[in-house]
Amino acid sequence: MTDERTPKVVEPTLFELSSPGRVGVTFPEPDVPRAKLPESLLRAELPLPELSEVDVIRHYMRLSRFNYSVDGGFYPLGSCTMKYNPKINEDMARLPGFAFTHPLQPIETVQGNLALMYTLQQWLKEISGFAAVTLQPAAGAHGELTGVLMMRAYHHARGDTKRTKMLIPDSAHGTNPASSGMIGLQIVQIPSDRRGNVDLAALKAACDETVVGLMLTNPNTLGLFDEHIEEVIQIVHDCGGLVYGDGANLNALLGIVRPGDLGFDVMHFNLHKTFSTPHGGGGPGSGPVGAAAHLADFLPSPIVGIVEEGDDETPPLYGFIEPKQSIGRVKAFHGHFGMMVRAFTYIAMHGADGLRAVAENAVLNANYLLARLRHAYHIPYDRICMHEFVAEGKVEGSDVRALDISKRLMDYGFHPPTNYFPLIVHEALMIEPTETESKQTLDAFADALIRIAEEAKTQPELLKSAPHKTPFGRMDEVKAARDLVLCCWLPEEKGS
């Protein structure tokens, strides 16, 4: 039997490629006297690999070909909104005026950057219905942490210090409990009802004067819009709690529903999902937070504002404003500015009608795939979905699992959907096509999944040993999780 885990290609490490004396760059002799470093600071050996520039470029080029990317193919990773990142975003982010500025420059010298940040804040307010926005948080979960810190600060500022519980539905994003747990709140899980909504009776029973609030992902991780959203928010507000909105699934709502209008108190955006900035190894995230008027004073400081009004002849002077009861700074400098340029570009290129079309097409694409796959796979909460849906990765008359189906999809050239989440669906396959995919791509993906369901019955081994056509076969996930190697080694220690 051949071992499926034996890679078909082997890429040596840079240390293994090293050849003594080879260099990438040669420096000219210094034309100033060499400074003497103290002996105690010098080491006899520095075991770095010795390589030419072309060796290094080819090494990383080969490694990059093992990877899978949105630019290379369909990437329906549920709740991650892996949409195509238009290349004009990259052009704008590389403009020298944006790329070569420093966050410590005097504000008078970076008015263009500040105007962009201010305008992006205004646009995000308009899109979401919130009163104020910070651009600081580094990514989604960091935005959540910022939001829950603001919720607690709001209660404390009112002398209400006995609130220690955060309610989180079982269909929420997995980062929600982590963000609340990180500041020491007790997590209370709220079950879903049969239609995938928050169970209202369970929510009512959990609401009391010890509740900080509810963290709601809407649409939730089943891809479903809560049918009682206003009632859910009212129940939490009635007990004095606040409602946090996880904006990771905002793509489904653009231009149609504004979370601020629904009564959410605070919400994060994922610029790297909804507004197409690269994601998943393609760049850092960016998780701005929007707040309703009563929470605006608690936003992290500083936020970008107008510090001197302009008039017909002079533009306003943009600068930094300290919210009155700010929770403080949550990020060095001003957040991931390059992501803001990309999101700004994306919004500017689409306009209001274009953003609405994004949401409509994202929902249409997901429902098209759902309609094509419903007969091949069981859909546990089967109703009109929003931007994504969850199928069970099981096939009647076969013992294959979601993992096997996902691995087999790689043989057909597709990135697998999100696996095993949400936890309320057994063998979950969470599929989010996004609006950037054509009908041809959606059909090719549906055809592959339907064919895989057939293979599961006729040749289950083909799935269980997949993938077969990728540079590497099935990875040993158990070994990877159990035998952690948390430190590197220097070459001479290798094998010891």
Partner 1 sequence: MNIPSNLMYTKSDEWFDPATGKVGLTDYAQAQLSDIVFVEITVSAGDVVEVGKPIASVESVKAAAESYAPVSGKVIAVNEDLLNAPETLNRDPYGAGWLIQIEGADPSGLMDAAAYEKYCEERTH
Q: Which residues bind partner 1 (CB under 8 A)?
A: 403, 419-421, 423, 426, 477-478, 481-482
What minimum distance in Å lies between the beta carbon of 176 and partner 1?
A: 14
Nearer to partner 1, 13 or 186 (CB): 186
Q: Which is nearer to partner 1, 420 or 472 (CB)?
A: 420
Cβ 367 to partner 1, closest distance in Å? 27
Of the pair 44, 481, the CB lying nearest partner 1 is at 481
Give 309 or 396: the residue with its C-beta nearer to partner 1.
396
Long-range contacts of 52-59 (CB under 8 A, 24+ apart): 52/22, 52/23, 52/24, 53/24, 53/25, 55/17, 55/22, 56/14, 56/24, 59/11, 59/14, 59/17
Report the residue number, 19 or 164, with the smaller CB distance to partner 1. 164
State in angstroms the smallest separation of the CB of 150 from partner 1: 27
Shorter beta-carbon distance to partner 1: residue 169 or 260:
169
Closer to partner 1 at the Cβ: 299 or 428?
428
Nearest to 269 by CA among 291, 252, 286, 244: 286
Using the minimum distance from each CB to partner 1, give the nearer residue, 481 or 487: 481
Report, in Å, the least distance between residue 166 CB and partner 1: 15
- Nearest approach in angstroms of CB 425 to partner 1 is 11
Q: Closest approach of Cβ 167 to partner 1, in Å?
A: 16
Shortest Å distance, C-beta 401 to partner 1: 8
Q: Residue 423 CB, nearest distance to partner 1 (Å)? A: 6
Give whichever of 87 and 482 is closer to partner 1, judged by the CB atom. 482
Q: Minimum CB separation from partner 1 for residue 415, in Å?
A: 19
Q: How far is the CB of 426 from partner 1 (least distance, A)?
A: 8
- Return the CA Rg of the chain: 26
Of 174 and 302, the one with the shorter C-beta distance to partner 1 is 174
What single letter denotes the amino acid at residue 297?
D
